[in-house]
Structure 1
Amino acid sequence: MSVPPSALTHQRSIYLAGVSGERPRVPFHITSLEQEAEKRLSAQAYAYIAGGAGAGQTVAANRADFNRWRILPRMLNDVSEVDLSTRLIGLDLPAPLLLAPLGVMELAHPQSDLAIGRAAAKHGVPLIISNQASRPMEEVAKAMGDAPRWFQLYWSREEELVKSFVSRAENCGCSAIVVTLDTKMLGWRVNDLDLAYLPFLRGKGIAQYTSDPVFQRLVDEMPEDPQAPKPRINLKSLATLWQMLNAHPGSPLDNLRSGRAQKAVKLFTGIYTNPTLNWEHIARLRSYTRLPIILKGILHPEEAVRAVDEGVDGLIVSNHGGRQVDGAVSTISALPAISSAVKGRIPLILDSGVRSGADMIKAMALGASAVAIGRPYAYGLALAGEDGVSEVIRGLLSDFELNLRLAGGTRPSDIDASWLVRAP
């Protein structure tokens, strides 16, 4: 397990570099980070990464509701030594932080998931490899070496494909399966709709599928459909076709001749979500794998209790970054009731809205064992690739360490409900 550098050392190095006029390439302030990334990203990429469902009420609540709590520091504690290490679902981690699964990261940088994986490995922070990644899980695992990773699973309409994904995740060293529950269908994402842009229709973000033998067999078995609607032929549709041909394995010319790229996109859009997903699927998953099973997207305390009773190994309290149900409860608001219901029987990870070390403390005081971040590292990726992701991780860990020590603690286990008061 790697040990993160001291926050004081990190802080000092930044200030010393400033003596020579050198400023960080990746801003630490979350607003500046997002603004700078927006300048680098295409309008379509920024809308896909930053946007939420509907009017964006849940996206806003995920941030605003952290402000309902205030940290109550203690001053007269010895905080000269600090240890951020955490034990989480069989892993000894350098800090209570994970990288949440983000799909279609080729929108932010050509190295996409490989850059993310290498940065995560550098800091010993687990990456939850996305089901909608731009690179196959095996390539990401190879880039990460022995560093910890989990695999996010979207339950497909094709059960054999589910089994194949789980088997591949086991074989490439993933140490848990994270089932995303809240995407039985896409939410009403107005930023993407206004641009009429869905990256999957260009063959982006489906690398787990096109690299899978079961999926490729299903492509082979697809019947021709002469009645299928065809887009109008113009420069835009030809550019889309070119993207699709290049995204699929093999040469663009071979893909054009065979029609496999178009068939893969059509098959993917027909099977990647499963509206029937229920508790019976989770029970079946136990027969598919011996890995720990984590449910991502739980917001209701009754479902949290059911998950414990069903033998689930952990929960990620998440609302998909506000991208699915507009007006849904924020994750930090949902966390206390879930923590009270679960009573520490399984670990809770908070996702959606975490932007600072103070946020990490608040989440852990309300019952989380760890937190996961998403959009911030995507913005870092857009600005500086692997180095950008690394700087976002390192900055957040430094922020967490300093807030922990300044509030009177020296390890994550010191944090409890007594650290917080409700804001007036």
Structure 2
Amino acid sequence: MTAGTAVPATDPLTLDDVEDRARALLAPEVYDFVAGGSGGEATLRANRAAFDRCHLVPRVLSGVDTADTTTTLLGVPASMPVAVAPMAFHAVVHPDGEPAVSRAAAAAGLPFTAATLAGCPLDELSVPGGALFFQLYWLRDRDRTAWLIDEAERLGARALMLTVDVPFMGRRLRDLRNGFAVPAHAAPVNLSDTQRGGGQSVGAHAASVIDPTLSWSDLEWVRRRTRLPLVLKGVLDPADARRAVDLGADGLVVSNHGGRQLDGAVPSILALPAIRDAIGDACEILLDSGVRSGTDVLRALALGAHGVLLGRPVLWGLAVDGETGVTAVLDLLRAELATSMALAGAPHVAAARRLGVRGASATRVREER
């Protein structure tokens, strides 16, 4: 699908349309597991509201009729500044699970981030022609942590993404009210036999496997342990960002975990400019939490990100039509981004990162540069 292409009225025209279709297909407790946040879901709502308060300043008379969305993320060529975010338990929404998503990402020319809590062996996610990132939780079982790092390296992963904002799971009230548990068919197979957690609540399973004492000294251990580019996911404070860079981080993901951890945390898009200012060009910055359109991707670029991670919309596409549904979501996002870039007068990603943004927030929103 390309910008401006006519499509049948029955095809989804936005990522929200895809979510609506997924909601109609999924059991209510499964939809809530994917869609929900923690606590009163204030951060979940604020993520979207914050994007809408960030107003782009388009450039005119630029002669742009088409936009080139290609870029690199952590040294990996990408058809647009987007990677698939790490997410657990794909098979709860569709039996084809993670392999379908990894194939769709490879076909779209985008990196796929395999999760520690994936429901299939990691070697099934290393797709010929694809680019694999690996997301790591700091496990109580340190030997298993080391094994996962070794597996990621063996399979040719291009980056190691350490999640740092989950000492334990946030209190997700929808799941508690629904009594949602990890189905046996979606349980994480890359943990030890005693840690896979089928039939447990998500919170109970996380508490049994994730070590809440992760600290800066552990980050130093990970940095020494792997030769892969090391990315910290879940950074919102500029001081933390500076310290991570000082300890050898090659990238950061500005993220509040999609509103699923600390309820009341700052929206990621509003935290981004201060982190960009704090570290300059010392490492690459990605953003997640609340991205729902190509215009959102453009906003993130203009505020200093090199790219974004796309989460829930990928699962909605998977729920609707398996691999084909994920492909449709990624195609739609690329078409939206190309259109938004052209309308903003940005012929390529570097120009998009020079666009101005206006907005009001308690933190700084980057002024036109």
Distance 1:81 1:375 in 2: 28
| Count of aligned pairs | 359
Contact 1:126/1:147 (CA < 8 Å) preserved in 2? Answer: yes
State the 1:68 CA deviation: 1.5
- Give TM-score scaled by structure 2 length: 0.92
- Mapping of residues 13-412 of structure 1, within 5 Å: 14-15=6-7, 18=8, 23-24=10-11, 27-141=12-126, 144-199=127-182, 202=184, 204-209=186-191, 215-216=192-193, 219=194, 271-412=208-349
Q: Deviations over 1:326-382 (max 9, x none)?
A: 111000010011011011110100100011111111111111000111001110100
Paired letter, 1:80: D
Q: The residue matched to 1:45 in structure 2 has which SS? A: helix
Q: Deviations over 1:211-262 (max 9, x none)?
A: xxxx24xx4xx9xxxxxxxxxxxxxxxxxxxxxxxxx8xxxxxxxxxxx989
Match of 2:364 in 1: none
State the 1:32 CA deviation: 2.6
Distance 1:188-1:76 versus aligned 2 partners, 3 A rule: same
Alignment RMSD: 2.2
Contact 2:111/2:130 (CA < 8 Å) preserved in 1? Answer: yes
Contact 2:91/2:185 (CA < 8 Å) preserved in 1? Answer: no
Match of 1:227 in 2: none
Distance 2:35 2:47 in 1: 13
Paired letter, 1:208: N
Paired letter, 1:108: V
Q: The residue matched to 2:59 in structure 1 has which SS? A: coil
Contact 1:70/1:423 (CA < 8 Å) preserved in 2? Answer: no
State the 1:29 CA deviation: 2.4
- In the alignment, structure 1 segments of 5+ residues that lack a partner are 210-214, 223-247, 249-259
State the 1:198 CA deviation: 2.4
Contact 2:234/2:256 (CA < 8 Å) preserved in 1? Answer: yes
- Structure having the higher helix fraction is 1
State the 1:49 CA deviation: 0.4
Distance 1:272-1:203 versus aligned 2 partners, 3 A rule: farther
Q: The residue matched to 1:199 in structure 2 has which SS? A: coil
Paired letter, 1:165: L
State the 1:182 CA deviation: 1.1
Paired letter, 2:261: Q
Q: The residue matched to 2:105 in structure 1 has which SS? A: helix
Distance 1:356 1:268 in 2: 32
Distance 2:207 2:42 in 1: 29
State the 1:176 CA deviation: 0.8
Q: Deviations over 1:370-417 (max 9, x none)?
A: 011100111010001001001100100110001001111110100245
Paired letter, 1:71: L
